[in-house]
Amino acid sequence: VRVDSDPERLERGLAQLVLTLIELLRQLMERQAVRRIDAGGLDDDEIERLGNALMALAQRMDELKASFGLSDEDLNLNLGPLGDLL
């Protein structure tokens, strides 16, 4: 029922939505990487490369969160009966 046309808040709201989805994908990729390690499907080089990629992504996420003033708790969506997205 709230409509807020303040452009700064709109931009922050949009950033929050986009970053939430990216964060969801980042966490899914991280879990997938961990599962692949557990399954023994990765050699040391692959683990190093995958780790570097995920680390760079985490770093970039932190920067984006900071520049939009968003905390980890902001990056979540309540999906009602489905629970929280993250």
Supply the minimum distance, in Å, between the C-beta of residue 18 and other proteins.
19
Question: What whole-number distance in Å separates Cα of residue 33 and Cα of residue 41?
Answer: 10
Residue 50 contacts residue 42 (beta carbons within 8 Å): yes
Check binding of 48 to other proteins (CB under 8 A).
yes
The tokens 């009966």 sit on which residue?
A: 81
Is residue 32 part of the contact set for other proteins (CB under 8 A)?
Answer: no
Report the DSSP beta bridge partners of residue 84.
78
| Interface residues toward other proteins, by CB under 8 A | 1-2, 27, 30-31, 33-34, 37-38, 44, 47-56, 58-59, 62, 71-73, 80-81, 83-84, 86
